[in-house]
Amino acid sequence: MARKAAALLVAMLVAAVLLAGCSKNAAGNQGNNSITDNNNITNNNEENNFSGQEPAPPTTEDELVAWTENSKGMFLAQSRELDGKQYFLVTYGAKESNGYEVEITGAEVLEDRVRVQVMFHEPADDMIVQETETYPYVLDSIDATGLPVEFVAEGAETYVPQLLDLDYLRPIAAGSAGIKVFYPAPGDLVERRFSVEGVANVFEGNFLYQLTDSKNRVIVSGYSTAAMGDWKRFLLHCDIDSNLQIERDLQLMLYTESAVDGSVQDKLVIDLTLAGEQSAQAAEKGEER
């Protein structure tokens, strides 16, 4: 009897241990399933948040802020129509002190145009100014007319530059004092045929350009007509010979030359990368090794 009792006790202990192990594994499996389910829920939520949702279009206020910020460094008058309003933006450019101001004193709708009067102020001789960079500007509006705008300068300025062949200033990617480029931007990939668009206000209304590679070889060069006194749109077309073996790193330079000594002025340099040339250059480097 004692042996049977002992054997029965051992069997009961073994069964208890096995049952405990099964319960532990079951609980562990349930925990893992819960974690997996939670991850799936999280991933699904992230996909729902980021898929198929387009960013909200910019508001009129957003457009006006971006337009002003893009233009503030230039001495320029321009207009555009947004949401039933005709906006006038006059920027005085960068100034080295306070005391400069610009204001619109009148807007007269004529039969064939809108005549906008702009008053410019500069520091008076007896004014104590602070040496700080400022960007004076004025933004005003009337009901949209669909008419072109004539800006008339008064006060400290007798003329305010305007845009030619362009409704309003596009976002500037790079620029010098007299040449502003909309595209390409520094670091852009370009094909063997690409265009360059911008505005220029330079002496005698002409500027030069050249495209070189990292070995300083001139690949494309020429000149373009812009404007003097106003900012005129230009559009260049660079065409690289398909048979020409060149380096992938390119440099586009736009500039003017002084009529007095031939020195380079209004220089603007944009670094570019030629697309589709990696394999050829890698092969050349392999041969050199």
Band of residue 4 on the pLDDT scale cut at 50, 70, 90: very low
Q: Is residue 34 in some structural domain? A: no
Do 191 and 133 reside in the same domain of the chain? no
Residue 52, pLDDT score: 67
Residue 51, pLDDT score: 53
- Contacts (Cβ under 8 Å, ≥6 apart) of 214: 247, 248, 249, 250, 251
Residue 277, pLDDT score: 59
Of 164, 199, 234, the residue at which a domain comes to its end is 164
Q: Is residue 159 in some structural domain? A: yes
Euclidean distance between CA atoms 248 and 214, whole angstroms:
8
Do 154 and 104 reside in the same domain of the chain? yes
Domain count, the chain: 2
Q: Is the pLDDT reported for residue 288 higher than 70?
A: no
CA-to-CA separations, 199 to 50, 105, 146, in angstroms, rounded:
38, 28, 23
Euclidean distance between CA atoms 142 and 232, whole angstroms:
26
Q: What is the CATH number of the domain that holds 200?
A: 2.60.40.2550
Task: State which residues form the domain around 128.
Answer: 60-164
Do 137 and 209 reside in the same domain of the chain? no
Q: Is residue 245 in some structural domain? A: yes
Residue 36, pLDDT score: 30
Q: What is the mean pLDDT of residues 273-277?
A: 85
CB 252 within 8 A of CB 219: no
Residue 125, pLDDT score: 86
CA-to-CA separations, 149 to 69, 81, 88, 164, 287, in angstroms, rounded:
21, 11, 9, 12, 62
Percentage of the chain beyond pLDDT 70 is 78
Band of residue 21 on the pLDDT scale cut at 50, 70, 90: very low
Instruction: Among 5-14, 53-62, 152-161, 198-207, name the one with the lowest average pLDDT.
Output: 5-14
For 154, the 3-state DSSP assignment is strand
What pLDDT digit, counting tens, does each position of 57-81 carry?
Answer: 999 999 999 999 999 999 999 999 9
Do 67 and 157 reside in the same domain of the chain? yes
Residue 126, pLDDT score: 86
Q: Is residue 274 in some structural domain? A: yes
Do 179 and 145 reside in the same domain of the chain? no
Of 164, 197, 226, the residue at which a domain comes to its end is 164
What pLDDT digit, counting tens, does each position of 198-246 carry?
Answer: 999 999 999 999 999 999 999 999 999 999 999 999 999 999 999 999 8
Q: Is residue 10 in some structural domain? A: no
Nearest to 205 by CA among 235, 225, 231: 225
Q: What is the mean pLDDT of residues 78-85?
A: 97
Q: What is the mean pLDDT of residues 262-273?
A: 96
What pLDDT digit, counting tens, does each position of 228-238 carry?
Answer: 999 999 999 99
Produce one character per residue of 209-238: b if its CB has 16 or more CB atoms within 10 Å, e if not. Answer: bbbbbeeeeebbeeebebbeebbbbbebeb
Band of residue 25 on the pLDDT scale cut at 50, 70, 90: very low
Of 164, 194, 225, the residue at which a domain comes to its end is 164
Do 190 and 210 reside in the same domain of the chain? yes
Beta-carbon neighbour count of residue 165 at 10 Å? 13
In this prediction the pTM is 0.75
Q: Is residue 211 in some structural domain? A: yes
- Take residue 73 and report the two structure tokens written for it: 């460094």
Do 227 and 274 reside in the same domain of the chain? yes
Do 179 and 207 reside in the same domain of the chain? yes
- Contacts (Cβ under 8 Å, ≥6 apart) of 91: 68, 71, 72, 73, 74, 75, 76, 77, 102, 135, 136, 137
Band of residue 260 on the pLDDT scale cut at 50, 70, 90: confident
Nearest to 138 by CA among 231, 70, 83, 72: 72
Helices (H), ranges, the chain: 2-50, 60-71, 278-288
CB 229 within 8 A of CB 267: no
Q: Is residue 20 in some structural domain? A: no
Q: Is residue 97 in some structural domain? A: yes
Do 155 and 119 reside in the same domain of the chain? yes
Locus of tokens 């380096």:
247
Residue 186, pLDDT score: 98
More confident residue, 176 or 286: 176
Euclidean distance between CA atoms 103 and 41, whole angstroms:
57
Euclidean distance between CA atoms 46 and 105, whole angstroms:
53
| Average model confidence (pLDDT) across the chain | 84
Residue 230, pLDDT score: 98
Do 196 and 264 reside in the same domain of the chain? yes
Q: Is the pLDDT reported for residue 256 higher than 70?
A: yes
Do 74 and 145 reside in the same domain of the chain? yes
Q: What is the mean pLDDT of residues 269-288?
A: 66
Q: What is the mean pLDDT of residues 135-144?
A: 98
Do 150 and 182 reside in the same domain of the chain? no
- Take residue 76 and report the two structure tokens written for it: 């320029």
